[in-house]
Amino acid sequence: MFSIQTKNQPHARPLIPQLFTALLFLALSFCSFAADIVLPTIDVSADQQRSQAWQSIGNVSRVTRQQTERSAAHHPAELLNALPGVWVSRGNGQEHLTAIRSPVLTGPGACGAFLMLENGIPIRPAGFCNVNNLFELNHEQAAEIEVIRGPASALYGGNALHGVINLHSPAPAGNRQSLRLDSGANDFSRLSYSVSRSSDLGNSRIDYNASHDNGWRDHAGYEQQKLGLQHQLQLGQWQLNGLLTGSWLQQETAGFILGENSYKQAGLRRDNLNPEAYRNAWSGRGSVELIRGFGDDGWFSVTPYWRRSKMEFLQHFLPEKSLEQNGQHSVGVMTSAGNSFGNGHHWNWTLQLEYADIYLKEVQQNPLNSNSAFLVATRPVGTHYDYQVDSYLAASHINLEWQLADQLQLVTSARVESLRYRYDNQFLDGNSRADGTPCGFGGCKFTRPADRKDHFSNLGGRVGLHYTDDHNGEWTISGGYGFRPPQATELYRLQSGQLVTDLESETIRSLELSHGRLLGPVDAKITLFAMSKQHVILRDATGANISDGKTRHHGLELDLLWQINSSQSLQVSATQALHRYAFDSALPGGETITDGNQVDTAPNHMASLNWRYQHPTGSWLTLQGQYMGSYAVDAANDHHYEGHQLLNLRAGHHLVGGISIQAAITNLTDSQFAERADFAFGNFRYFPGAPRQLRFSVKADW
C-alpha cells in the first residue's frame, strides 16, 4: 500500500518507517494492558495559559479539529489558506513557502520571519529554520492549529516577525480508538490511527498516519509518516505532560515548468524538468511539561525539550542544482509562571534557555549546463559550503494585563533575547573553487567566512487597549515591535561581495486597529494594519542575497461568520494588502529594486468563502471558493501572474454507530492555475496547480 520508486533518491533511509511502525506497535501493546479507571483532572497547560494571555490583544485565527477532519487535507495549505492574511504557497509534494501578512519570502533564511510551534515549543532551534517547516507537523491529526498574524516577538521571540503557527496536539480522551482510510487520484492513500487509554499509570495517546502519493506530475510521488506519543500523569500537586513526535518524508520532486502561461498547457503542466530532484527529511521532538498551581489562579511550569532533524535535497530551483545536507540536535528548557493580582489584573512570565548543534554541507556534483559563460564560471563543481555552528539562546518575556475598568483592558508585553553563534568553517575560507583557485568574472558566487563568533541581542514589545462596548462589540488598538536575528544560513552561507558584518537583526514596527461585532446571526471582525520592516535580508529572483533592505506593509483583513439558520452557515475570510519596497538596490547580476515598487509574489487581494450545510442526521456538505488576485513576479513589476479562482466540494455522511464516510472534489471546475508563479533567469516559472481530483474517506470510531 505504501511503496514508491526511489531510483532518484540514493540516500533514502528505508529503515525509518520500519522504526516508526515498530515503535507504534510497541506502544499499542503497552496500552492494551491499561485498566479502565476515571481520568484525573487535567489542568490547562502553560502553553495555553500563555496563548490565552495574548488573545485579548492579538489577532488570532484557528483551524478546528472538525475543520481538519472534514477537509482531509493532503497539504497544510488546504487548511491555512482559508484564514485571513495567510497564504501557504505550495511547491511540489509537501514543499511550500509561507506568507502571513507578508509576501511569499524566498531564500534559505526567509523562514526566519515565521515561527512554527508544537504545543508552544518551537519545532526548530533559533537560527535554523526550514522553509518547509510545516511538513514536520502532524496537521492531519491536530486538535487545533492556531495562527497569530503580525509580529508576536514580544511573547514568542525571534522568528515571530510576521506571525506564528502553533499546532496543538489532541489530548488523551478516555478509552477511545479511531481508524481512518483516505484514498484519491494518482494512487493517493493514507492510513490514520489514534488510540487513547486510561490506567493507574496515567493517560496515554498515540496518533499515527502514513501517506503515499504517486503525484499528478511525472516522477513526483512521496511517502510520509508521522507519529505522536503522549502521556499524562498526576504526581502529587504536579501534572506531567509528556510528548514525543516524529516525521519522515521521502519524495521525488517536480520543479518549475518554464514559459509564459505554461501552466495552461496540458502537456507541460505534468512535465517534470527535474526528474533527478528529491527531498528526504526526518525529524524527532520530545518534551516533558511539569505544571502545578498555586494560590487561587497561579501556575508554574518547567518544560525540558529535545529536538533532532536531518534533511537532504537537490536544489533543483537553482541553476547549479547542488546537493544540500543539513541537520541539528538541540536541547532546551522553558520555565513559565502566571497569576492574578489586584483588581482583575494578570501577569505571566517565561524564561527560555536553548543549545543547538547545527551543520550544513552543499556540494555541486556536476558542471553547470548553461549557455551563460558567467553562470558556468561562477558556479564551480565541488564543495560550496561545509560548516558547523553551535548556537546558544537565552530569552525571557513578561506579559501584564491591567483591568483599567469593567470594559477596558490594557495589555503590555516585553521580551529580551540573546542569541550567540560559534561558527566553524570545515572547508576553505574565502571565495574560491574547491581546489583553491579563483573563479572568473570577479569570483565564485559562494563565499565562506573564516571561523568566528557572533552575538545578537534584541528587545521586542507590544502594548494595546481592548474595549468591550454595550452592544456586543469589541475594539482593539495595539502597537508592536518585533525582531528576528539572522539565520545561520544567512550569516555563513555568503555570496560574492557579502560580509557577515553587513547583517543585523530584522526588525518590524506594527500598528493595528480591529473591531469585532456580533449582529444577530453575524459575527464579524475587521482589522487594519500597517507595518514597517528594517534591515531586511532577502533573496531576489536571480538568487542574489540582499542585505539591509526596507519594506512597508499595509492591509485590511475581514473574518465573518453568518449563521444563516440551524443548518446553514457562511464564512468569509478576505485580505486586501499592499507590500512595497522602501529602498533601492542594483546588485551586479541581481534584480533592480526600486523604492515604491510592489514586492514580488505579494497579491493585493485574497479571499476564501465557505458555505456549510449540516443535516440533523449527521450528514454535511461544504462548498468552498478561493480567490487569488494577480501579483508581480519580479522586483521590477514588469511581469505578472493573473490570479485564479477555485471551487472545492466536500460532503460526508454518518452510516451507523461510529462509522462515517466522506468524499471531495477539489478544483471542481478543473481550472488551470499556478500554485506559485515566478520570473527568474529570463523565464517565467510556475508550480502548476493540480487538475480536478476525487477523494474518498471512511472512518470508524469506537
The pLDDT tens digits for 110-139 are 888 999 999 999 999 999 999 999 999 999
* 580 within 8 A of 537, measured Cβ to Cβ: no
- Give the pLDDT confidence score for residue 588 in this predicted structure: 66
- Give the pLDDT confidence score for residue 31 in this predicted structure: 42
609, 615, 619, 624: CA torsion to nearest 10: -10
Distance between CA atoms of 9 and 138, rounded to whole angstroms?
24
- Give the pLDDT confidence score for residue 45 in this predicted structure: 63
Amino acid at 615: H
Please state, rounded to an integer, the average pLDDT across all residues of the chain. Answer: 89
- Give the pLDDT confidence score for residue 542 in this predicted structure: 66
- Give the pLDDT confidence score for residue 592 in this predicted structure: 85
For residue 603, pLDDT over 90 is answered with yes
C-alpha cell at 292: 502545578
Residue found under cell 552543499: 362
For residue 28, pLDDT over 60 is answered with no
Q: In the predicted model, what is the mean pLDDT of residues 337-362?
A: 94
C-alpha cell at 237: 500537586
* 346 within 8 A of 339, measured Cβ to Cβ: yes
Tens of pLDDT, residue by residue over 189-205, are 999 999 999 988 899 99
CA 229 vs. chain centroid, Å, equals 21
In 3D, which of 245, 247, 170, 177 has the Cα closest to residue 211? Answer: 247
CATH superfamily of 15-701: TonB-dependent receptor, beta-barrel domain (2.40.170.20)
- Give the pLDDT confidence score for residue 472 in this predicted structure: 85
Q: In the predicted model, what is the mean pLDDT of residues 76-87?
A: 96
The contacts of residue 18 (CB under 8 Å, 6+ apart) are none
For residue 289, pLDDT over 50 is answered with yes
* 386 within 8 A of 427, measured Cβ to Cβ: yes
401, 556, 85, 114: CA torsion to nearest 10: -50
Ranges of each domain in the chain: 15-701
- Give the pLDDT confidence score for residue 47 in this predicted structure: 65
Among 2-16, 41-55, 65-79, name the most confident range: 65-79
Q: How far apart are the first and last CA of the chain?
A: 24
Split at pLDDT 50, 70, 90, the class of 677 is very high
In 3D, which of 323, 300, 296 has the Cα closest to residue 312? Answer: 323
Split at pLDDT 50, 70, 90, the class of 103 is very high
Q: In the predicted model, what is the mean pLDDT of residues 32-56?
A: 46
Residue found under cell 514589545: 461
Tens of pLDDT, residue by residue over 292-311, are 999 888 999 999 999 999 99
**DSSP character string of 28-46:** HHHHTTPPP-PPPP-PPPH
Split at pLDDT 50, 70, 90, the class of 612 is very high
Angle at 172 (CA atoms; ends 167, 201), nearest 5 degrees: 130
For residue 5, pLDDT over 50 is answered with no
Give 582's Cβ-side CA count (13 Å radius). 14
Instruction: Provide the whole-model pTM.
Output: 0.92
Q: In the predicted model, what is the mean pLDDT of residues 458-484?
A: 93
Look at 285-289, 536-540, 611-615 and tell me which has the smallest mean pLDDT. Answer: 536-540
At 690 the three-state DSSP class reads coil
Split at pLDDT 50, 70, 90, the class of 232 is very high
- Give the pLDDT confidence score for residue 46 in this predicted structure: 61
Split at pLDDT 50, 70, 90, the class of 585 is confident
In 3D, which of 614, 648, 687 has the Cα closest to residue 93? Answer: 687
- Burial string for 382-399 (b: 16+ CB within 10 Å, else e) reads ebbbbbbbebbbebbbeb
Tens of pLDDT, residue by residue over 536-580, are 988 776 666 778 889 999 999 999 999 999 999 999 999 999 999
Q: In the predicted model, what is the mean pLDDT of residues 258-275?
A: 92
CA 171 vs. chain centroid, Å, equals 22
Tens of pLDDT, residue by residue over 138-156, are 999 999 999 999 999 998 9
Tens of pLDDT, residue by residue over 407-431, are 999 999 999 999 999 999 999 999 9
